[in-house]
A and B are shown apart, each in its own frame.
Chain A
Amino acid sequence: MYRMAPAPARVLCFLIPALIAACGGGSGSSSGGEAPATATVSASTSTTDTTSAPADQPTTQRDAVRLADQASFGPTEALIAEIRSAGAAKWIGQQFDAPASRYTRGGTSAFHQYTGSGNFCDNRDANCWRDWASNQPLLWDFYRNAVGNPDQLRQRVAFALGQILVVSNREVDGTYGLRNYQNALLDGAFGNYREVLKKVVLSPVMGDFLNNANNDKAAPNENFARELLQLFSLGTCLLNADGTPQGGSCRPTYDNQRVRAYAYALTGWTYPAGGATAWGCWPEGTHCRYYEGDMVPAARYHDTQERTLLGGAALPAGHTAPQALEAVLDSLMQHPNIAPFIGRQLIQHLVTANPSPAYVQRVATAFTSGRHLGIGSGQRGDLKATVAAVLLDAEARGETPGATAGRLREPVLLFTGVLRALRGRTDGDALGWWWGEQMRQHVFRAPSVFSYYPPDYPLPRTALLGPGFGIHNAGSALARLNYVNSVVNWGGVAPSASIPDALGTRVDLSGFEADAADPAKLVDRFSLLALGAPLPSAARTAVINATAAFTPSSSGADYLKYRTRTAAYLVFAAPQYHVIR
């Protein structure tokens, strides 16, 4: 295999028949005879060996920055160099094997073992609520990990999954429980979607968030069952494999009877043992609230009647709660909706808000077949295969995304992107209650199970969807610029004594100052880092002029520092930075 510059993969696949197998074409591919559009071609991928690394396939600056924006929390000069020399496929393979981040900070399960007459935080320090009940310790870990840890892709995928399979500290307290939930998403990000879904169904945190803990067969509530179908697996409308609605308009995936059938089937789960309160555990036959471990069956509350699940799957009478759970999960995994419904959202979270139907279909195929370019276990729901399909698709790779490509750089990725690019550090604290709330993306505190914004939010004045625009308005538009200003021009946020291992939130521009004597060079360096390409001509000139306006006579010995700040501010404030393409 010789090294070559990346070329449109379709061209390669037609011109070089020997590579068609590696292109994923041939028998068994549900995309028919057309070679699927992937940008990497490697003869070393075999269909069974998922551990042999693809060969190096150097790529361009622009493509590397695109991949960094898709698969990490933002490009750094070092990461760009890594991706440029390895190429997308090899880098992604390395990311699959990178040591995994975890959440570790915050209180323990003692939070739900308090048997005093008041509240757990009585007679504890002023930070008790923050450290034992709230999402803050997780948020600290999230941002530290996102800015500095090497398993960037795993974290991005877990972050995406966490915006589909939502729990929120707005309605559920207990740091240790939220931590267990988010760790499960990190652990499962490269596993199988069925396993992730099972952990979610059995999570006592989810059991409280959507009221399935202690759900009673005598009159079950419908909350979890409905959102399991609507948000976590299938969606409300029947879909073709390419994500478009069957029949061209919304034909319901399920009706209320089906929701109630699932609600009944999912009754009879209670918290794991270990919790305690001053008044014992109620109702009878259940455990006290406790978030350490999975929910356990509470047979007396489990409805055992026959239920017809989706896809005609039957759940014969006399079942136990665990048997019903397996039947529920099987019915969802087998439903034709799940691959496009989940696949499309992963594309939206990682790459672009308006994927072509063909792109969605290619990703759905990877989800269904469990394999993509030799990556994956071959089991339906394989997330490695799905993620590889998302990132290696022609619509994700290359130099020239189309006029309708792109996604808004959501606030979390703005926060981390600027910090990573500009060699910054954070303990996360300023990015939750302050910046996170201002821009309406406070991690682990989504407003509801519907996450921060809907996947189908319309972008006004266009025919496109713009999910991120659901939390974007005049106030947040200016806040974006003000965040960049805060860290670049105003020194960021100083470390606070009340935060363990405090770092504050700040960037380090000193390594860029060396190029400040040449404003054009400086501006281009920031542009290549942030955008993968220089700014458009008129914009570039204006930014260079603004950078050059700081001279020894205007600003004394610090003029190079001010030039560096100005160039960084303008590049990271540019619209090209905020809409990722």
Chain B
Amino acid sequence: MSKPNPPLMMQRRRWLQLAGGTLASALGTAGLSGLMLAPRSAYAADYKALVCLFLYGGNDGMNTVVPTDATRHGQYSSVRGALALPRSSLVGLGGTDYGLHPSLSALAGAWSDGALAPVFNVGPLYRPITKAEYRAADASSSLVPDSLFSHSDQQALWEAASTDALTRTGWGGRAAEVLNTTNPVISLGSGGGRFGLSSLNAALGLPDPGQNFGVDGHTAADLGWAPVAARKAALDTLYAQAQDNVMLEAYAQQQREAFATSQRLAPIVQAQPGSAAASALIDQAFAPLIVNGQLSTPLAKQLYQIAKLIANNATVQGNRQIFFASQGGFDTHGNQIAYGNALQGTHAGLLKQLGDACAAFHQAMKNLGMGPQVTLFTQSDFGRTFKPNNSSGTDHAWGNHQIVLGGAVKGGATYGTYPTLALGGPDDVGVDSWELQGRWIPTTSVDQYAATLLRWFGADDGQLGAILPNLGNFSQRTLGFL
């Protein structure tokens, strides 16, 4: 199936790109966005932010959100064996037949707020596919997403909302481009893979709180001395020249943008908890995760930065901003649980970091009075096998359960379709004796998940189609959780 033609706005951007990188440099810091048509005012002066939280390695969704009704919990326990979480340990999602892993207890408040919702069995899909179609499809069929079960490819498919692992852009980057946001996707931590890539930009990657973000030796005070000013002038000249080598020019252009961005954002980026440039409202929310003036986990650092950038959106500029954060280590092939104790171990530790940091972030947004304006959502390479292996772990699967969090979320309910808990059953890819592991065929696509988020963010139907080329293959475009 051919992709729909990109709308005129994107074609204009591409023309400007082809006209030469020097055009961007001639425009200085504003880049190309100043030349674009004024954004259509589907969104006006209000501010909205999307925060993508990518769980790298493949989070075990089956132990993240667990059925609590007797029948299904029984099925769950009998297959999960030593990895099964006892019913009594789960953090109940009142009003539903589900509970969260006990390590996510910090999110109980968000559930009571009505600000949390699980979305079940989401994954890359070209179009809805039945088990029979999946099994009948040729290995190279476009009906089946590329390289299922491969970390790198599935990360790429989630980041790109695509079934083609060679896609060079991410859906976050395309959204920023189509919606003409002031800034590219802003990424924290280890960076966003492809998520923030657009045809025009990489994501804007920023460092952790307290880290330097600027050119050393070229502070305003330093530049008061003529020789240092001459040195900075030489540095600018080195980077201002157009280059005849493609990679060299791309590198130089990124550097020019880094110079400009650091001047604007350095004070915000560098602010540590308790410092003059920090926000007391954010610090209060993150207080449980601040030890000796420092954020105590990598995810807390990233979400703290994002909270600051949201609070300071007037300096960051733009009333629509997409952020990217990530947490790694979820590839729990072995020792997913502690010996003899499913409530502890690797996965429990990861979810504790996740839950605590997300709860603090949600509280920070509430403190700022911006709860309904910010939506955080998870993504991950894939779910994991329902049936564990003999290494006390699980292997690579496909459809997975995600979490959305924010004041605008229609919480207190679940979305998507929970799989039938039968190995080799209608939702499991397998029929052969060697393939009865419980790898779920998704019943909701990444496109639908992303469209729900982007519709709330302000994208209209045409824009959704441009950002998510496969969305038209699904009759239900959005899922209702926003």
- B-binding residues in A (CB < 8 A): 171, 210-211, 214-216, 218-223, 226, 230, 236-237, 247, 249-252, 255-257, 259-260, 353, 401, 403-408, 438, 440, 447-448, 450, 454, 456-462, 464, 466, 469-479, 481-482, 485-486, 489-490, 535-536, 538-539, 542-543, 545-546, 549-550, 554-555, 562, 566, 569-570, 573-576, 578-579, 581
Chain B residues with CB below 8 A from A460, complex form: 197-202, 250
A-chain residues with CB within 8 Å of residue B46 when the two chains form the complex: none
Please indicate the chain B residues that have their CB under 8 angstroms from the CB of A440 in the complex.
190-191
B140 to chain A, nearest CB (A): 5
| Docked CA distance A221–B58 (Å) | 15
- Chain B nearest CB, measured from A562 CB (Å): 7
From the candidates B203, B248, B259, name the one contacting A473 in the complex (CB within 8 A). B203
**A403→B249 CA distance, assembly (Å):** 10
Chain A residues with Cβ below 8 Å from B140 are 247, 249-252
Which residue of A has the minimal Cβ distance to B269? Answer: A475
Give CA–CA (A464, B250) in the complex, Å. 10
Known pairs A404-B247, A406-B247, A448-B151 / 14 extra A-B pairs, C-beta < 8 Å? A171-B329, A220-B391, A259-B149, A406-B245, A454-B152, A473-B202, A474-B261, A475-B211, A485-B215, A539-B241, A546-B227, A546-B233, A566-B227, A566-B231
For residue B165, CB closer than 8 A to chain A, the reply is: yes
By beta carbon, the residue of chain B nearest A469 is B202
User: For the complex, what is the distance from the CA of A343 to the CA of B45, rounded to whole Å?
Assistant: 54
In-complex Cβ contact of A256 among B17, B201, B435 (8 A): B435
Given A461-B250, A475-B205, A554-B226, A482 and B216 touching (CB < 8 A)? yes
Do A221 and B393 touch across chains, with their CB atoms under 8 A apart? yes
B475: interface (CB < 8 Å) = no
Choose among A211, A464, A477, A562 the residue that contacts B255 (Cβ–Cβ < 8 A). A477
The CA of A490 and the CA of B217, in the complex, are separated in Å by 9
Given contacts A222-B396, A260-B434, A466-B250, contact A236 B238 (CB under 8 A): no
| Cβ–Cβ < 8 Å partners of B162 in chain A | none
The A-contacting residues of B in range 139-156, CB under 8 angstroms, are 139-140, 146-153
Partner of A462 from the list B193, B203, B211, B247 (CB cut-off 8 Å) is B247
**A577 vs B398: C-alpha distance in the bound complex, in angstroms?**
43
Question: Are the CB atoms of A236 and B139 closer together than 8 Å?
Answer: no
Q: Check A478/B396 contact, CB under 8 A, given A404-B247, A460-B202, A569-B231.
A: no
Does chain A have a CB within 8 A of B212?
A: yes
Other-chain residue from A458, A486, A543, A579 in contact with B234 (beta carbon distance below 8 A)? A543
State the Cβ distance, B46 to closest chain A Cβ, in Å: 27
Given known contacts A236-B153, A260-B435, A464 and B247 CB-to-CB distance under 8 angstroms? yes
4 closest A-B pairs by CB:
A473-B205, A223-B333, A542-B237, A216-B390
Q: Quote the shortest CB–CB distance from B126 to chain A (angstroms).
A: 14
Q: Which residues of A contact B283 (CB under 8 A)?
A: none
- The listed residue (A218, A236, A555) touching B390 by CB distance below 8 A is A218
Q: Which residues B345-398 have CB closer than 8 A to chain A?
A: 387-391, 393, 395-396
Query: Mind listing 16 A-B residue pairs with CB under 8 Å?
Result: A230-B150, A259-B149, A438-B207, A448-B328, A450-B151, A461-B201, A469-B202, A471-B190, A473-B191, A482-B215, A486-B216, A490-B216, A549-B230, A574-B238, A579-B245, A581-B245
Q: Report B's interface with A, CB cutoff 8 A.
A: 17, 21, 56-57, 139-140, 146-153, 165-166, 168, 187, 190-191, 193-194, 197-207, 211-217, 226-227, 230-231, 233-235, 237-239, 241, 243-248, 250-255, 257-259, 261-262, 328-329, 331, 333-334, 387-391, 393, 395-396, 429, 432, 434-435
Residues of chain A within 8 A (CB-CB) of B165 are: 236, 250
Contact of B235 among A475, A486, A545, A573 (CB under 8 A): A573
CB distance from B139 to the nearest CB of A (A): 5
With A and B bound together, what is the CA distance between A401 and B200 in angstroms?
26
Contact between A438 and B56 (Cβ–Cβ < 8 Å)?
no
Q: Are A489 and B217 in contact (CB under 8 A)?
A: yes
**Complex alpha-carbon distance, A438 and B212, angstroms:** 10
CB-CB under 8 A from B148, the residues of chain A are 256
Q: Are A221 and B139 in contact (CB under 8 A)?
A: no
Query: With a CB–CB cut-off of 8 A, which chain B residues contact A219?
Result: 387-390
Minimum CB distance partner of A471 in chain B: B191
**CB atoms of B248 and A581 under 8 A apart:** yes
CA distance A215 to B153 in the complex (A): 25
Q: Which residues of B contact A546 (CB under 8 A)?
A: 227, 230-231, 233-234
Which A residues are CB-close (under 8 A) to B329? Answer: 171
Q: Which of B168, B262, B429 contacts A458 (CB 8 A)?
A: B168
Are B204 and A473 within 8 A (Cβ)? yes
**B144: min CB distance to chain A, Å:** 9
Q: Which one of A230, A461, A482, A546 has the greatest number of beta carbons of chain B within 10 Å?
A: A461
Q: How far is the CB of A45 from chain B (nearest CB, A)?
A: 33
CB distance from A234 to the nearest CB of B (A): 12
A482 B245 Cβ-Cβ under 8 A: no
Contact A481–B216 (Cβ < 8 Å) = yes
Q: B228 to chain A: closest CB distance in Å?
A: 9
Give Cα distance in the complex from A462 to B241, angstroms: 18
Q: Which listed residue, B206, B248, B391, touches A475 by the CB 8 Å rule?
A: B206
Q: A545–B247 contact, CB under 8 A?
A: no
Structural contact, B391 and A216, CB atoms closer than 8 A = yes
Across-interface contacts of A575 in B (CB, < 8 A): 238-239, 243, 248, 251-252, 255
User: In the complex, A405 Cα to B243 Cα: how many Å?
Assistant: 13
Closest A residue by C-beta to B244: A403
Q: Establish whether residues A538 and B241, one from each chain, have CB atoms under 8 Å apart when the complex forms.
A: yes
Residues of chain A contacted by B252 (CB below 8 angstroms): 575
A469 / chain B contacts, CB cutoff of 8 Å: 202, 250
- Known A-B contacts A458-B168, A473-B187, A546-B233; A448 and B390 likewise in contact (beta carbons under 8 Å): no
B331-A448 in contact (CB<8A): yes
CB distance from B35 to the nearest CB of A (A): 16
Complex: chain B residue closest to A476, CB-CB: B205
Q: What separation, in Å, do the CA atoms of A438 and B191 have in the docked complex? A: 12
CB distance from B96 to the nearest CB of A (A): 32
A402 to chain B, nearest CB (A): 8
Residues of the B chain whose Cβ atoms lie less than 8 Å from the Cβ of A464: 246-247, 250
Assess the B190–A447 pair: CB atoms within 8 A: yes
What are the residues of chain A within 8 A of B197 when measuring CB–CB?
458, 460
Which of the residues B187, B190, B235 comes within 8 Å of A570, measured between beta carbons? B235
A470 proximity list for chain B (CB < 8 A): 191, 193
Q: How far is the CA of A555 from the CA of B388 in the complex (A)?
A: 70
CA distance A236 to B148 in the complex (A): 10
Task: Tell me, in angstroms, the Cα distance from A562 to B202 when the chains sit together.
Answer: 36
A461 & B21 in contact (Cβ 8 Å cutoff): yes
- Is the beta-carbon distance between B393 and A579 smaller than 8 angstroms? no
Question: Is B247 within 8 A of A485, CB to CB?
Answer: no
Are A474's CB and B152's CB within 8 A?
no
B188 CB, min distance to chain A CBs, angstroms:
10
- Residues of A within 8 Å of B331, CB to CB, are 223, 448
A247 to B139: give the CA distance in the assembly, Å.
13
Known: A474-B258, A478-B258, A545-B234. A536 touches B191 (CB 8 A): no
Judging by beta carbons under 8 Å apart, are B238 and A474 in contact?
A: no
Residues in chain B near residue A578, CB distance under 8 A: 251
Task: Provide the residues of chain B in CB contact with A473, threshold 8 Å.
Answer: 187, 191, 202-206
Which A residues touch B211, using CB under 8 A? Answer: 438, 475
Say whether B390 contacts A485, CB under 8 Å: no
Residues of the A chain whose Cβ atoms lie less than 8 Å from the Cβ of B204: 473-474
- Chain A residues, CB < 8 A from B168: 458
Would A211 and B334 be within 8 Å (CB), given that A220-B389, A462-B246, A475-B206 are in contact?
Answer: yes
A478: contacting residue among B198, B248, B262, B395, CB under 8 A: B262
Chain A residues near B216 (CB-CB < 8 A): 481-482, 485-486, 490
Complex-state Cα separation, A260 to B436, whole angstroms:
12
Query: Chain A: which residue is nearest B24 at the CB level?
Result: A461
